[in-house]
Amino acid sequence: MLSRFGASSADVHRCVELCEDIFDLRNVQQGRPYYVFLDKNKEKLQCFVYEHSNLQHLIIDFRDSLRVRLEEKEIEQITRISSGEIESSLWNAVTAIGVSFELALKLSEIYAWTVDFYALQKGDKFTVLYDEIQIDGKTEKIGDIKYAYFEHNGKPLYAFAYQQDSIVEFFNKKGENLRGAFLKAPLRFSRISSRFSNSRLHPILRIRRPHHGVDYAAPVGTPVLSIGDGEVIHCGYSGGAGHLVKIRHNGVYSTAYMHLSKYGQGIKKGSRVRQGQVIGYVGSTGLSTGPHLDFRFYKNGTPIDPLSVKSPPIDPIREENKEDFLKSIEFPITVLDSMKGKNRIMPVEKHGVEFQW
């Protein structure tokens, strides 16, 4: 790029040297914008600017002695209140009022255990107070959610962020935790024979490919348990996975149980299961060298390492914190209630409110 605008090989080499401790030039990405500044006669290169991201840009100054620096734009944090009404989906309702779809993802995670986002009804409502991160006056991302209200099938569901034991969790008006817990493992007695990997040598195919699950070695017939409440969305034979059961726990999390020898009693597509219920038995069906369970965990459809998933805490607000918690949510409840069903977005300061957290 630099040679196209008159930079010598020596200049380019010097740029690489100066960038070593500032920016790894191997991270220059195709498709990112860059700007070139020339002298008045458009003959001599004065400056080169590469925008690595909306926040960060690299500046190479060719005037006088060659200099290199990395600069970051100023970040502005604005607190907003947004509210809307569901017509078809939460995603569409959020984007319809001019807010990033990221807010819909964050709301779905907060209410993952209390709202079935696959079964939203027209007329469901939401209100949320959150931070918005801006760069150059444009939204870069959605920050922390402080308080939220969701009305599903006429049922009001409040969510208040509250810090307890240095951990921020969301609680309802009674101080109950909004998150449910998962079992640590789908088998009671087993050992891990293979872990989550992006490049594992397949024991049968003898090629390297991703293994986005954890293998639990156990005898044929060992009961396999659902790690949480949910709905069976697949139950049947599935090629290399053998006999497979897949469970959707809520709008965010789902799990899969592969290579089963048979299914648990009453397990079929559409069945509702409870945490700890037997949904199948260890086998060696499909592409398998021996009896084991291949267990997979998904978040928003993307596989994640089951061993890295921390079981969400379900402790309520402790008694010694109860009075402080109840006092802290009085005013937010008033604000959230005042916005119900109004399709709009506004900065907090325009609402005439000062929030503290």
Rounded to the nearest integer, the mean pLDDT of the chain is 86
Specify the amino acid at residue 236. Answer: G
pLDDT of residue 153: 87
What is the pLDDT averaged over residues 81-110?
89
Which residues are CB-neighbours of 152 under 8 A, at least 6 positions away?
115, 120, 121, 124
| pLDDT tens-place string over residues 283-303 | 999 988 899 999 999 998 999
What is the pLDDT averaged over residues 319-325?
93
Confidence of residue 208 (pLDDT cuts 50, 70, 90): low
Written in H, E and C, the secondary structure of 179-218 is: CCCCCCCCCCCCEEEECCEEEEECCCCCCEEEECCEEEEC
Confidence of residue 350 (pLDDT cuts 50, 70, 90): very low
Question: Chain-centre distance of CA 227, in angstroms?
Answer: 20
User: For residue 70, how many C-alpha atoms fall within 13 Å in the half-sphere facing its CB?
Assistant: 13
End-to-end CA distance of the chain: 49
Does the fold of domain 191-308 match that of domain 76-180+317-351?
no
What tokens were used for 118? 């696959």
Report the share of the chain in percent with pLDDT over 90.
38
DSSP structure class, residue 87: S
Q: Nearest Cα to 257, choosing from 248, 265, 204, 266?
A: 248
Q: Nearest Cα to 77, choosing from 170, 143, 165?
A: 143
What is the pLDDT averaged over residues 144-154?
92
Maximum alpha-carbon separation in the chain = 82
- Which CATH fold would you assign to the domain 3-72? Nuclear Transport Factor 2; Chain: A, (3.10.450)
What is the pLDDT averaged over residues 49-64?
88
Confidence of residue 200 (pLDDT cuts 50, 70, 90): low
Domain boundaries, the chain: 3-72, 76-180+317-351, 191-308
- Find out whether 120 and 89 touch, Cβ atoms under 8 Å: yes
Domain at 76-180+317-351: CATH code: 3.10.450.350
- Other beta carbons within 10 angstroms of residue 40's beta carbon come to 7
Given a cut of 60, whether residue 357 has pLDDT beyond it is no
- Which CATH fold would you assign to the domain 191-308? Glucose Permease (Domain IIA) (2.70.70)
